[in-house]
Structure formats: structure tokens, C-alpha cells
Amino acid sequence: MTDPLVRALLAHLERGLDAGALRRDLEIALGPARTSPQPQVTAPSAAGAAEADVLARLMLSDILDDTILGARPNDKPFPLRLVLGALAEHIGSRKNERARELSLVLASALNLYFRAELDEEVRVRVGYEASRSFYSFAAAAGLDRDLVARSAPLLAALLTSQLERVRFESVDHVAVFDSQLHERDRGSDPHSARVTARASFLARVTATGTVRMKAQVRT
């Protein structure tokens, strides 16, 4: 046998295991004692916290009132809270790429509307396009029709809160096409008066009730 460790152990077994001598010979055979390397502790990633903060701001959590974000099932704003929850879910998911893309469009439109310094004329246009994005996202995400109908007037009121001379109205309760209030969206049957889907809000002048921008609907 040529292994120094084995030779040292056998020799001490023969001598009755002199503990002190065994320790010295093992140190000679094995070399100096080595300290086990300490596990590296990774500092908490700042990237994860930053990503969470961006998502929270994208969802307007620093702007929206707690009556919306903390709404309970019996509270009036609860449908809007559910829609915002679905919006956040699809932004972070790749299961439905179309819904994910449209969730980003809607979130971006809402952030531009509520965060940017805009003239009212421009804000009305951005709000109108945000309402179009709302219906497009709801369709792509397969949101329940009743949920969309209940959350639409809440979103319209929320958008109106930033305006002085114009108000938005949802038309989810409308079943018959009215050329004074509606425009047919792409894919509509031009000969049908039955409204089958809504594609935007209606915008009116607050003081007079005059239609400022017609609601897009599908017939």
C-alpha cells in the first residue's frame, strides 16, 4: 500500500490508537486543515423590485383611489377592479399574446391620459382611444360580457374626472343603432340596426349634451 493515509491508520491501529499521534500523522498525511468555503450570499436583486414598481405604476396604483383598488364584491367600483386585475394578469403572461399586446396598449393609453400634461382637446382624443383599447382588450382576453358592461361606465366616469368641458359615456346598454350617436365599426353589417358589440365610448359636450365624438359600435 502506498497511500499515506491508509498507512497512518493501520500503523496506529497496531499501536492501540494513540489519539495524539494519530492526529499528528493524519495532519501530515492530509496536509493542513482546510476551511470549508463559506456559501456566497447573493444580495437581493434590485431588478426584481424595480420591475414590480414599474408594473404597479403601469397599473396606476399610485394614482387610482383605494375605493377602486381595494373594492370588495359588493362595492360599486368592484367590476373595474376586476378588469384592472385582468389587465395586470395579461401584461405578465404569454398565454394569450394578442391579449398581452392589447393589455400593454390599454395600460399605455391610460398612463398617457392620467400622467401627461395635455390640453383638454388632446386628452379627449387620448381618452377616446383608451376606450377603444378597453373594448379591444376585453374581447381579446375573453372577459365576461356582463363584467365589461358593468365596468365600462365606471371607466367612462374615471376618464371624465380629468375633463372640464367633455364627458364620456358608455353605450353598453344600447341595442339599436342610432346614426346621431353611433358610427359603425369595421366588420359591421351596414344593413343591420342591431348593435352586437361596442368599440368605444361616446363623448358629449358637458354644458349642452351635444355629441362631440360618436361611439363606435358593431352591427
From first to last of the 219 residues of the chain, give the pLDDT tens digit. Answer: 556 665 665 665 555 555 566 566 656 666 655 555 555 555 556 667 777 788 888 889 888 988 998 999 999 999 999 999 999 999 988 899 999 999 999 999 999 999 999 999 999 999 999 999 999 999 999 999 999 999 999 999 999 999 999 999 999 999 999 999 999 999 999 999 999 999 999 999 999 999 999 999 999
Rounded Cα gap, residues 177 and 14, in angstroms? 106
Rounded Cα gap, residues 68 and 64, in angstroms? 7
The predicted pLDDT at position 135 comes to 98
The predicted pLDDT at position 202 comes to 98
Rounded Cα gap, residues 153 and 171, in angstroms? 8
The predicted pLDDT at position 74 comes to 94
The predicted pLDDT at position 32 comes to 59
> How many CB atoms neighbour CB 180 within 10 A?
6
Residue 185 CB partners (closer than 8 Å, separation 6+): 197, 199, 216, 217, 218
Rounded Cα gap, residues 144 and 106, in angstroms? 18
CB 81 within 8 A of CB 68: yes
Which residue in the block uniquely carries the three cell numbers 365576461?
144
The helix or strand, by DSSP H or E, that contains position 215, with its residue range, turns out to be strand 215-218
Which residue in the block uniquely carries the three cell numbers 363623448?
203
